Amino acid sequence: MGREAILMTFSAKTIMIKNTNIVDAANSRIIENQNVIVDGSHIKEISGTTPGSEVFHVVDGEKSYLMPGIADLHVHLNWDGGPDPRQAVLQEGAKVAVLRAYRHALDHLKMGVTTLLDVGSMDDLAIDLASAIRRNVVFGPHLYATGRIICIIGGHGAGLGYEISGRDDALRATRTLIKRGADMIKIAATSGAYGSFGAEKLEAIQLDPEEILTITSEARKYGIKVTAHALNLEGIRNCVDNGVSIIQHGAFLDKSTARLMAQKGVFLVPTLLVYRKLAEGAPGVMPEAVSKAREVVRHHREAFLNALEAGVRIAGGTDVYSPNFGPHPRIIDEAITMGEYGMPNSEVIRAITLNASEALGTHRTRGRVEEGMEADLVLLRGNPLEDLNNLKKVERVFLDGVEIDPHTTRDPLTL
């Protein structure tokens, strides 16, 4: 059933989330005992008194905390989180992979993740899934997708990515992905931990500055942002100097480049936990990937703190379903890790809500619990500003005003 049909069934009249405590992460505070009126897909009214409007359905919010829907800006929905996800999707093919991707999108939604940015899928299948959700073919969270990663021949992402060499190729790849419907362009500016080709050395840059500039300049014409996989410092620098809007990983970020990122408003999606998990190793996971991940982990915390100190806008993302890194809700574990690494809880909540919306450019309608905003909401049985572990205590999720009970065995699909 499509979203419109569900809205007609469940939200034609107003919902009241009664007597709840609103998490206002931007101001590090809780606004206690509020009635939140959801009318259709939007928040109509928030007040401490009984509303005038006729209420169709009341959700008891007592002793609960209401926060904006969570966003994860680094997912690979088509992967399986097993020891070698790339090999797995190549074997099963894109048709099975798109079904898995959809399954994963719904799993996220039930845990309070209402917005996802997929930054690399085979055959651009995440673009098709995003389109199917937007056109109400299937019900699912807000999904943005880059399609294939643009990388150098044999570089990070090769095999499933769009492999290029030179500026002409860079232009062709960018235009092809935009024509395909990409919401954002993903590039691999450096090697990575997980990759089976010879060129994957941690210290190596991959796309060169001219290729990066070609891609970002072309994307800008369409108002499309570029996000980059960038681990080493030279690669991060190439991105920041050449128009990239969102750095993924940023494991070797130094203080001066962090200051430059802050000045230019470039976002960082640190994905701290995925490398720690990969560094643990597991049967079937490539040993080279494990040793490279260990090297990343040795630097990542310092890089993250450099970003924090410089005032870089940090948004939440996980790299979920990459090797040895399933299942959901990894963004919650990532949030807890950001907290452990020294980020104040209110900033962590901001990173996985409003900052993520700002990075996507959707902050005017999503990322805060305020009148007029879209009703993407999570009701928690505990205050996440006090303890980030409370992010796991999900009682209800609302997507565009559609109520989802995470405890039901029924799938939102079968509503």
Largest CA distance in the chain: 66
Shortest Cβ distance from residue 287 to Zn ion (Å)? 20
Nearest Cα neighbor of 77 from 44, 40, 109 is 109
Shortest Cβ distance from residue 389 to Zn ion (Å)? 25
Shortest Cβ distance from residue 320 to Zn ion (Å)? 9
Nearest Cα neighbor of 251 from 225, 231, 272, 277 is 231
Residue with smaller CB distance to Zn ion, 297 or 404: 297
- Burial class of residue 1 (count of CB atoms within 10 Å of its CB; 0-12, 13-18, 19+): middle
Which residue spans within 289-351 are E strands per DSSP? none
Cα distances (angstroms) measured from residue 366 to each of 195, 323, 349, 361: 35, 31, 14, 9
Cα distances (angstroms) measured from residue 286 to each of 112, 193, 235: 32, 10, 24
Shortest Cβ distance from residue 139 to Zn ion (Å)? 26
Shortest Cβ distance from residue 153 to Zn ion (Å)? 19
Residue with smaller CB distance to Zn ion, 43 or 125: 125
Residue with smaller CB distance to Zn ion, 32 or 288: 288
- Are the C-beta atoms of residues 109 and 77 closer than 8 Å to each other? no
Shortest Cβ distance from residue 361 to Zn ion (Å)? 21
Other C-beta atoms closer than 10 Å to the C-beta of 167 total: 14
Residue with smaller CB distance to Zn ion, 76 or 110: 76
Helix (H, G, I), strand (E, B) or coil at 170: helix
Residue with smaller CB distance to Zn ion, 139 or 275: 275
Cα distances (angstroms) measured from residue 149 to each of 160, 337, 369: 8, 27, 34
Alpha carbons 257 and 359: distance in angstroms, whole number: 19
Residue with smaller CB distance to Zn ion, 119 or 307: 119
Contact positions vs Zn ion (CB under 5 A): 319
Sign of the CA dihedral 116, 117, 120, 125? positive
Residue with smaller CB distance to Zn ion, 119 or 310: 119
Residue with smaller CB distance to Zn ion, 319 or 334: 319
Residue nearest Zn ion, CB atom distance = 319
Q: Identity (one letter) of the amino acid at 121?
A: S
Shortest Cβ distance from residue 259 to Zn ion (Å)? 26
Residue with smaller CB distance to Zn ion, 85 or 112: 85
Shortest Cβ distance from residue 248 to Zn ion (Å)? 7
Residue with smaller CB distance to Zn ion, 218 or 319: 319
Beta bridge partners of residue 16, listed in sequence order: 37, 58
Beta-strand relationship, 267-269 and 29-39: unpaired
Nearest Cα neighbor of 38 from 24, 25, 55, 21 is 55
Shortest Cβ distance from residue 192 to Zn ion (Å)? 8
Shortest Cβ distance from residue 64 to Zn ion (Å)? 33
| Distinct helix (H) and strand (E) counts, the chain | 13, 17
- Name the strands in the sheet holding 113-118, side by side, starting at the edge strand that comes first in the sequence: 70-75, 113-118, 142-145
